[in-house]
Amino acid sequence: EVPIMDGSSAVYCELLMQAGLQRQSAPRRRIRILEAIEIEDGPKRARLSPSDDKFLTLNARIEYDDSLIGVQEMALKLAPGMFARDLAFARTYGFARDVDMLRSMGLARGGSLENAVVVDNGEVMNPEGLRSEDEFVRHKMLDAVGDMMLAGAPIAGIYEAVQPGHSINNLLVRKLLDTPSAWCWETDTADATRIDARRSAAV
């Protein structure tokens, strides 16, 4: 894995923005969702469905019995600039009660208050506190953006999830790629006729 830094994507996002943009010789392509696919795993659920624009729209809901988090929901259309402004700063998080269990499994060995938000019985243990009250659900959406990119290109569609996480997102991407009728390649130069033709061919 890449270095965890502060548990968010802020540093990487800043460095990429400093590097700037360079025009490429080939048109950018994306994955257009043509039909809905869904994965369920106990209380966890993740779904991709078609949209009418070229962006990824995210809708996520999390629920914990800890009073600090409770229920958090957020919806966001990933238009240019939105990731950097609304998601990149959100840090990964965990619960103090789970630390010993995770370390016994060989996980979270490098975890600390420097690179994660740690919650303990309704309180944030990090001295600096939260970066936003809904930092938890924002980080889940940040994770989803990265996980969906494992499909091989940006996705034009709607992502909806309840209790999302890397594991169910991974299953969702695998199911997408294993379902050729559910998606097609699309480029920025593609007009509506070409898109409709691809949709018809995929059905």
166 classed as catalytic: yes
Helical spans, DSSP H, in the chain: 10-19, 82-86, 99-104, 135-149, 166-177, 192-202
Beta strands in 15-114 (DSSP E): 29-33, 37-41, 44-49, 56-63, 71-77, 93-95
Give me the catalytic one of 166, 181, 194, 201.
166
Contact 143, 135 (CB under 8 A): no
Amino acid at 161: A
Q: Which residues are catalytic?
A: 166
